[in-house]
C-alpha cells in the first residue's frame, strides 16, 4: 500500500494565525481565571480566595448559585427548543430547493440574507417589528385578538426570542444541508428509481445517512450559538419581563458590570464555558459513534501489518453488523446467506447506508444455497458484495 507523504512544513503557513489566536484568546482567559480565585476589598487591592467563588456558583442554596441554576435551565430549554425546530425545518427547506437551473442562485441568496444582518440590527428590527402599536408582527397578532406583549408577558417574550433565532439562523442549517444533498451522486437516486423506492425511503436510506457529517457540524454550530445568545434578548426584552429571558450571558453582564462582582462573574463564566465544551463533546461523540469501532479495528490492523484490507467477512447474520463495513472500502464484503437475508429484511437502512458508502471496485454476483442469484437488486448498486453458504 502506497502511503501519502506528509509534509509538516505546511504548518509554518498557518503558524502566524495560530500565534495570533492563542494570544488574543489566552490573555483574556488568564485574566478571567485570575479574577475567579481572588477577591477585592476595593482600590484595586486583591487577595487570594481559592475556590470559594466556584463553590458559591455551584451551590443552588446561595444567591449566586440559584441565579446560575435558573439561567442555565433557561439556556438549555432555549437551545434544545431551537435545535428541535431549526434542524428539521432546515432539512425540509433544503429538500425543496431546486438542484439545477437559474433559480438556484436567487434562492440561495434570498435564504442567506438573514445571516448577513448583524445581531444588534436584528434585535432592533424585531424590537420595532414586535411592538403591538406600530410593529407589523405585534399589531397583526393583537388585531387577531391574541394576547401578545413581549415586554410584559413571559410567554410572548420567549416566543419572540425563539422566533428571532429561527428566522436568523435556520438559513445556516438550510445551506449546510443543501450542500450535503448536492454532494450525493446521482447513481444513488438512479438505484432508488430502479427499486421503485418511495420518496420517504430515499430520504431515510440515502439522503439522511449522507447528511450525517453535515448535520453534526450544523448542530454543533447552532448549539454553541444558541447557548451563548446575548444580543437579541438584550435588545428586544432586556432579559425580561422579570427574568424570563435572562440567559447566562445576560446574567454574567449584570453581575460583572452592574454589580461589579468580578469574582462571581469570572467563576460563573468559566463554569459556563466548561458546560458548553462538555455538551458539544457529547453531541459530537453521540453523532459520530457509529464508525468509531470500525476505525479502531483499522488502527489495530495497521499496527500489525501495512497490507491493505482486501476482504471483510461478516461472521454473524445480524443486520447491525452492516454498520462497520463501509470504513474498509474498497474491500470486498463477504457475508453468509443468513446475513444477506437479515440485512434485506430487517436492516434496510443499514444496508443502504453501507452500499452508498462503498465505491465500486468491481461488481460481484453471488448465489444462494438453492443456486438462485441472491439480491439481484443489490448487484445493481456500486458496491462489492458477495454471499457465501
94-125 residue pLDDT tens: 999 998 889 889 999 999 999 999 888 998 99
**According to the model, what pLDDT value does residue 33 have?**
87
pTM of the model: 0.70
Residue 347 and residue 217 share a domain: no
Least confident of 148-152, 192-196, 299-303, 362-366: 362-366
Both 323 and 178 in a single domain? no
46 pairs with which residues across the strands? 40
State how many domains the chain has: 2
Q: Is residue 1 part of a domain?
A: no
Residue 61, domain CATH = 1.10.3720.10
User: Which range is least confidently modeled, 58-62, 183-187, 354-358?
Assistant: 354-358
pLDDT higher than threshold 90 for residue 73: yes
Q: Let me know: does 74 contact 247? Beta carbons within 8 Å.
A: yes
Take residue 253 and report the three cell numbers written for it.
Answer: 453582564
Burial 77-106 (b: 16+ CB within 10 A, else e): ebbeebbebbbeebbebbeebeeeeeeeee
Question: Is 47 within a domain?
Answer: no
210-263 per-position pLDDT tens digit: 888 899 889 999 998 899 899 989 999 888 888 889 999 999 988 888 888 888
Q: 287, 311, 328 — which closes off a domain?
A: 287
Q: What residues contact 99, with CB distance under 8 A and at least 6 apart?
A: 181, 182
Return the pLDDT at 363.
32
Are residues 293 and 266 in contact, defined by beta-carbon separation less than 8 angstroms? no
If you average pLDDT over every residue of the chain, what do you get? 79
Cα dihedral: 206, 207, 209, 212 (round 10): 170
* 36: in domain: no
Asked whether the beta carbons of 237 and 245 are under 8 A apart, the reply is: yes
Query: Which strand (E) or helix (H) includes residue 208?
Result: helix 208-210
Same domain, 269 and 322: no
Same domain, 177 and 301: no
Amino acid at each position: 500500500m502506497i502511503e501519502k507523504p506528509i509534509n509538516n512544513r505546511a504548518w509554518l503557513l498557518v503558524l502566524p494565525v495560530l500565534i495570533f489566536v492563542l494570544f488574543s484568546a489566552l490573555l483574556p482567559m488568564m485574566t478571567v481565571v485570575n479574577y475567579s480565585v481572588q477577591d477585592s476589598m476595593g482600590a484595586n487591592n486583591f487577595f487570594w480566595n481559592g475556590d470559594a467563588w466556584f463553590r458559591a456558583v455551584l451551590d443552588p442554596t446561595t444567591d449566586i448559585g440559584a441565579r446560575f441554576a435558573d439561567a442555565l435551565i433557561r439556556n438549555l430549554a432555549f437551545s434544545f427548543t431551537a435545535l428541535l425546530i431549526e434542524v428539521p425545518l432546515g432539512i425540509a427547506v433544503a429538500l425543496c430547493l431546486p438542484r439545477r437551473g437559474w433559480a438556484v442562485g436567487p434562492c440561495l441568496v434570498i435564504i442567506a440574507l438573514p445571516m448577513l444582518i448583524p445581531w444588534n440590527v436584528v434585535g432592533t428590527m424585531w424590537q420595532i417589528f414586535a411592538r403591538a402599536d406600530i410593529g407589523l408582527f405585534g399589531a397583526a397578532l393583537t388585531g387577531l385578538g391574541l394576547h401578545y406583549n413581549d415586554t410584559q408577558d413571559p410567554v410572548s417574550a420567549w416566543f419572540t426570542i425563539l422566533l428571532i433565532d429561527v428566522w436568523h439562523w435556520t438559513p445556516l442549517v438550510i445551506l449546510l444541508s443543501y450542500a450535503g444533498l448536492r454532494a450525493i451522486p446521482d447513481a444513488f437516486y438512479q438505484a432508488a428509481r430502479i427499486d421503485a423506492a418511495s420518496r420517504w425511503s430515499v430520504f431515510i436510506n440515502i439522503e439522511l445517512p449522507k447528511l450525517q457529517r453535515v448535520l453534526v457540524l450544523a448542530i454543533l454550530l447552532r448549539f454553541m450559538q444558541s447557548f451563548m445568545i446575548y444580543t437579541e434578548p438584550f435588545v428586544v426584552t432586556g432579559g425580561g419581563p422579570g427574568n424570563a429571558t435572562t440567559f447566562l450571558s445576560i446574567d454574567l453582564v449584570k453581575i460583572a458590570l452592574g454589580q461589579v462582582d468580578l469574582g462571581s462573574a469570572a467563576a460563573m463564566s468559566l463554569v459556563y464555558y466548561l458546560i458548553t465544551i462538555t455538551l458539544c463533546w457529547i453531541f459530537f461523540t453521540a453523532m459520530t459513534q457509529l464508525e468509531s469501532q470500525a476505525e479502531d479495528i483499522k488502527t489495530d490492523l495497521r499496527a500489525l501489518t501495512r497490507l491493505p484490507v482486501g476482504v471483510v467477512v461478516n461472521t454473524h447474520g445480524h443486520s447491525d453488523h452492516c454498520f462497520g463495513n463501509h470504513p474498509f472500502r474498497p474491500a470486498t464484503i463477504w457475508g453468509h446467506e443468513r446475513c444477506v437475508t437479515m440485512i434485506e429484511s430487517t436492516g434496510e437502512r443499514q444496508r443502504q447506508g453501507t452500499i452508498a458508502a462503498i465505491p465500486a471496485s468491481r461488481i460481484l454476483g453471488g448465489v444462494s444455497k438453492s443456486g438462485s442469484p441472491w439480491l439481484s437488486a443489490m448487484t445493481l448498486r456500486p458496491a462489492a458484495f458477495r454471499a457465501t453458504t
